């Protein structure tokens, strides 16, 4: 029997990890917009959590906290971000478990920001501002990674694109990559940076699937190390007493006599049993 879910457009049930990510994104997004809009100087909290490529060191927490932020000017950014996390994230968490899903989400945000940082460092000084952003925030890299991982995990499944158009997993894979390329063409750009979604693609390819490519590589490396060790080991090495560690710290063996005289308290045996064997 196939383990792939049947095509369905029912709302998936989120697990604890997905609930935690969505609640954290909602709270941080709403509170950040509230402070930035109504409280003088309240934008400082937003600025402290957003990723600034020029100030990444030593403020490394920005590489992760920026993935929880959404635009304080438009609520649509928050709604579309939650929808992108929810619809494909729920089946992934159900397949992987909460811990792997949270770890995958954090890795996707981290890799997306690292792509933005690397491209900004390599881009020429006269490059467009969207290729060298001053402030980066949003979960687009994680949403892209979720879409790529879902298409690899559920190869024979169908998802409702925009809750209307049924799309196969393979088609969704190429649609996701195509949208990332279009973001490079159109000048509007993304708050996450136009390069960050490509980091999400890489994260989805490397850490998606069961087992993931990263886990396959790690298991292959461990197997090669064990095979190399076993090839240089001989049977004499296993049987040699040199590899045995002496007993340290224990008292010497000795015979403890009983409290009664064996000769007077016990009758002699009726028959000498020394030669029974």
CA distance 91 to 94: 5
pLDDT at 2: 47
* Tokens encoding 146: 């979720």
- We report the CATH number of the domain holding residue 179 as 1.20.1540.10
The pLDDT value recorded for residue 137 is 93
Q: Is residue 160 part of a domain?
A: yes
**Would 2 be classed as within a structural domain?**
no
Q: Is the dihedral of CA 45, 46, 51, 52 positive or negative?
A: negative
Q: Is 118 a domain residue?
A: yes
For residues 96 and 111, what is the distance between their CA atoms, to the nearest angstrom? 20
Q: HSE on the CB side for 13, CA within 13 Å?
A: 1
Please state whether the peptide bond connecting residue 58 to the residue before it is cis, i.e. omega within 30 degrees of 0: yes
Q: Which helix (H) or strand (E) holds 167?
A: strand 165-168
Flag whether 145 is in a domain: yes
Q: Are 73 and 5 in contact (CB under 8 A)?
A: no
The tens place of each residue's pLDDT in the chain, 277 residues long, gives 445 544 445 678 899 999 999 999 999 999 989 998 888 888 888 888 999 888 777 788 889 999 999 998 889 999 999 999 998 999 999 999 999 999 999 999 999 999 999 988 888 877 777 788 888 999 999 999 999 999 999 988 877 765 667 788 899 999 999 999 998 888 777 888 899 999 999 999 999 988 889 988 999 998 888 888 877 666 555 566 655 555 555 566 666 665 555 555 566 655 555 555 4
> Is the distance from CB of 46 to CB of 32 less than 8 angstroms?
yes
CA 42 centroid distance within chain: 32
H helical segments located in the chain: 16-38, 43-49, 62-65, 75-96, 98-122, 140-153, 169-185, 196-207, 213-231, 235-239, 262-265
Buried b / exposed e across 230-241, counting CB within 10 Å, b at 16+? Answer: eeeeeeeeeeee
Backbone dihedral region of 135: left (phi > 0), alpha (psi from -120 to 50 degrees) or beta?
beta
Q: How many domains does the chain have?
A: 1
pLDDT for residue 272: 56
275 is written with which tokens? 């030669």
From 119, 137, 122, select the one nearest 199 (Cα to Cα).
119
Residue 3 lies in a domain: no
pLDDT of residue 127: 77
Structural domain harbouring 133: 16-222
Specify burial of residue 76 (Cβ count, 10 A radius: 0-12, 13-18, 19+). Answer: exposed
Number of Cβ atoms within 10 Å of the Cβ of 84: 17
Peptide bond preceding 12 in cis form (omega within 30 of 0): no
* Residue 91: φ, ψ to 5°: -65, -30
Domain presence at residue 69: yes
On whether residue 259 sits in a domain, the answer given is no
In a domain? residue 83: yes
Indicate the pTM of the whole model: 0.77
């Amino acid at each position: 029997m196939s383990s792939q879910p049947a095509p369905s457009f029912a709302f998936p049930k989120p697990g604890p990890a997905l609930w935690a990510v969505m609640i954290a994104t909602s709270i941080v997004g709403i509170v950040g917009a509230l402070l930035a809009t109504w409280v003088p100087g309240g934008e400082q909290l937003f600025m402290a959590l957003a990723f600034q490529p020029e100030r990444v060191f030593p403020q490394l927490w920005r590489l992760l906290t920026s993935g929880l932020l959404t635009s304080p000017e438009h609520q649509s950014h928050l709604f579309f971000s939650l929808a992108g996390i929810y619809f494909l994230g729920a089946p992934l968490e159900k397949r992987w478990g909460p811990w792997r899903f949270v770890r995958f989400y954090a890795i996707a945000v981290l890799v997306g920001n690292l792509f933005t940082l690397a491209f900004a460092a390599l881009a020429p000084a006269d490059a467009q501002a969207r290729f060298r952003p001053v402030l980066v925030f949003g979960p687009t890299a994680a949403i892209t990674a979720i879409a790529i991982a879902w298409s690899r995990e559920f190869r024979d499944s169908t998802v409702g694109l925009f809750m209307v158009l049924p799309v196969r997993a393979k088609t969704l894979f190429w649609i996701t990559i195509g949208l990332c390329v279009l973001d490079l063409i159109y000048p509007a750009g993304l708050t996450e940076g136009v390069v960050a979604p490509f980091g999400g693609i890489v994260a989805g390819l490397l850490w998606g699937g069961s087992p993931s490519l990263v886990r396959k590589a790690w298991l292959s490396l461990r197997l090669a190390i064990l095979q190399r060790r076993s090839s240089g080991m001989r049977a004499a090495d296993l049987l040699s007493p040199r590899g045995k560690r002496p007993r340290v710290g224990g008292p010497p063996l000795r015979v403890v006599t009983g409290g009664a005289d064996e000769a007077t308290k016990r009758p002699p045996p009726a028959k000498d049993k020394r030669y029974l064997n």
